[in-house]
Chain A
Amino acid sequence: MNLEFLYKALEISGIGIATVFIFMAVFYFVIVGIDKIFPYKDEKKK
Chain B
Amino acid sequence: MEFNELMPAIAGMTWQHLVMIAVGLTLIFLAVKKQYEPTLLLPMGFGAILVNFPFSAVLTQVQGGETIVGALNVLFDAGIATELFPLLIFIAIGAMIDFSPLFQRPSLLLFGAAAQFGIFITMILATIFGFDLKQAASIGIIGAADGPTSIIVANQFAKDLLPAISVAAYSYMALVPIIQPPVIKLLTSKKERQMHMKTNSNKKVSRTTLVLFPIVITILAGLIAPSSLALIGFLMFGNLIRECGVLNSLSQTAQKELANLVTILLGITIASTMTAERFVQLDTLMILGLGIFAFVFDTAGGVLFAKLMNKFMKPENRINPMVGACGISAFPMSARVIHGMGLKEDPTNYLLMPAISTNVGGQIGSVIVGGLLLMLVPLFL
Contacts and interface: CB of A to CB of B under 8 A. Distances in A.
Interface of A: 1-2, 5-6, 8-13, 15-17, 19-28, 30-32, 34-35, 38-40, 42-43
A5 B206 contact: no
Contacts of B368: 20, 23-24
Given A30-B217, A31-B103, A31-B106, A19 B127 contact: no
Contact of A35 (B116, B130, B209, B372): B209
Contacts of B132: 2, 5
B229 to A, nearest CB: 13
A interface, over-half SS = helix
B145 to A, nearest CB: 15
Contacts of B112: 24
Contact of A8 (B120, B129, B380): B380
A9 B109 contact: no
A38 B211 CA distance: 11
A17 to B, nearest CB: 6
A24 B224 contact: no
Question: How extensive is the interface on chain B, given as a class?
Answer: 35 or more
A3 to B, nearest CB: 9
B206 A31 contact: no
A20 B116 contact: yes
Contacts of B109: 24, 27-28, 31
B106 A32 contact: yes
Contacts of B81: none
A33 to B, nearest CB: 9
A9 B141 CA distance: 13
A15 B205 CA distance: 34
Interface in B91-137: 102-103, 106-107, 109-110, 112-114, 116-117, 119-121, 123-124, 126-133, 136-137
Given A9-B133, A34-B209, A21 B220 contact: no
